[in-house]
Structure 1
Amino acid sequence: MHELPVNLSVNGREYTGTVEPRVTLADHLRENCGLTGTHLGCEHGACGACTVLLDGQAVRSCLVLAVQADGQEVTTVEGIASPDGELSPVQAAMRECHGLQCGFCTPGFVTSITALLRDNPNPSDAEIREGLSGNFCRCTGYQGIVNAVKRAGELMSGPTA
């Protein structure tokens, strides 16, 4: 099959290569870029495990072709922490509030929460549940995740007077 060029900035690093037109962004990230933090669950866009930020927008990378992302900035869960490895406020809150168990869905939740809090730094419970409605978790019961979103918002807003 004919391959097409793809140039991506992923977590601040440039990745240049070629892919078959049918290769998804998720597969390209995992197989060609070596970034396996993006998980594949349903491969139909329903579970949210493969969520990444594409030019800042949370997208299901199993539904985006790699060639569609050409020239864009991708942030995976590997790019959420600081360059020195310090956890982001979202990651720290997920740990602190027990917002994860098996961890399979966690990368998708972390990227979705990061986008949610960027756009709405103090969401209500209903806004949190709506904002994360495209991410499924089979282990936690969601309350720890909702608590983690609230805690991350607090951490991001800084100390209160």
Structure 2
Amino acid sequence: MEKVPTIPAGETGNIVFNFEPSDLGILLSKVVLTSPITGDYIYPLIGEGTRPTAKGPFVVQAGSSTPVNFVNPFEDEKTFNYVVDSDAFFLKSSSESIKPKKVVKIFVNMQPMRNLDAAAQKYGVTAKLVVSVDNPDPDDVKWVYYIRGEP
């Protein structure tokens, strides 16, 4: 936890909190503000870790790639699996071990125009990139990123 700067007596200050849950459900914590004259002020912090919402669309041109940023929200290193649900797109890797709180770029590549069917060449194509923890539990958290490929 970062230290908060001192706020002189009689002045107003702001304290900013970033909530980055590493688990689902209600999470409890507290913040303690200390005054040498009046003592400690204890404030409860209550947050709720929810399942991730889908993001995107991330646009990629035929024959090129686009990066999708993903962060391991957990407190320990985990292996994540990557799947894209359309043959019009491909990934360099289908899994990766990521250290806690580290951000990685997942590059989604789109096939060249000549490899796409006539409808995709004319209108483009959509897909989903799904990121999941390498664990057989079907209730595990999944991150969904919408991909839009353009000719």
TM-score between the two structures when normalised by the length of structure 1: 0.22
Greater strand content: 2
Structure with more helix by fraction: 1
- TM-score normalised by the chain length of structure 2: 0.23
